[in-house]
Amino acid sequence: MSDGKLYDILGVSRNASEHEIKKAYRKLAKEYHPDKNPQEGEKFKEISYAYEVLTDPRKREIYNTYGLNGLKEGGHEAGFPADDIFSHIFGGSPFGSMFGGMDGSSRRRRHRGEDTVHPLRVTLEDIYNGKTVKLQVDHTVVCKGCDGMGGRAGANFKCSSCRGRGIKITFKQLGPNMMQQMQSACSECRGEGEIINEKDACKTCKGRKVVKKRLRCLKCTWIKACATANV
């Protein structure tokens, strides 16, 4: 049986119509909007989350049937960070690092370069005593042409297919009170959560935010008995 927290947040009954829910949301959102009440940011998140769930027929059905546990198992699809909201409403996030902090906000995200792994043949003596070698490797680095943004200001917009999360979530009913969640990277935005207009994309990286760079004559040193070398 569902708990009634989300209905209580909006001050409506379980049988409230979508019109009643929207009316309650508009009233509360106006009262607790951060522009009007900067100190009520968390309250506004609660209100927004409750509205997201209760105005989505599928999520409302899951919540009405399985309660908070159903939302835990089914994942979180609201367009803002789940961890913040659940830690405030329910005393801790049920999702952990499931989505790696991804959210659907309009903030443009800088893309960091990837860690480089370079195979290196060494002897047991090298591992024990340590050694310094010179390397030439191809490394992924943040594009300086766009500062890792992928294009000019305003070129990025939230992916409508995944609503900016970068992942697609599907549900499968396994049996009574049992649901399976499956997630995969969004094919429209390649897991980025945002799409860049081709005409506005950075000419250097072509909207990828990172570029390949060849690093020459690097000195790689590690101490004895250390399996990982820091470059």
Q: How many CB atoms lie within 10 A of CB 45?
A: 20
Burial class from Cβ neighbours inside 10 Å (0-12, 13-18, 19+) for residue 153 reads exposed
pTM, 2 dp? 0.36
pLDDT on residue 221: 58
Return the pLDDT at 73: 55
> Within 10 Å of residue 108's Cβ, how many Cβ atoms?
17
Structural tokens at position 171? 């549900």
Residue pair 89/186 in contact by the 8 Å Cβ criterion: no
d(CA 42, CA 208): 34
pLDDT reported for residue 220: 57
pLDDT given for residue 104 in this prediction: 39
What residues pair up with 155 in beta bridges, in sequence order?
Answer: none
* The predicted structure's pLDDT at residue 95: 39
Say how far apart CA 94 and CA 179 lie, in whole Å: 16
User: Which tokens hold the place of 134?
Assistant: 């010179």
- Alpha carbons 89 and 6: distance in angstroms, whole number: 9
pLDDT at site 116: 64
User: Of 52, 57, 55, nearest to 76 (Cα)?
Assistant: 52
Tokens of 9: 């947040």
3-state secondary structure of 81: coil
Q: Mean pLDDT per 10-residue run, the chain (231 residues)?
A: 77 91 88 75 83 86 78 50 44 39 42 62 76 71 80 77 78 72 78 79 82 65 47 44
CA dihedral 36, 40, 44, 45 (to 10 degrees): 140
Q: What is the pLDDT of residue 21?
A: 92
Domain 1-101 has CATH 1.10.287.110: yes
Distance of alpha carbon 119 from alpha carbon 124, whole angstroms? 15
Judged on CB neighbours under 10 Å (0-12, 13-18, 19+), 79 is: middle
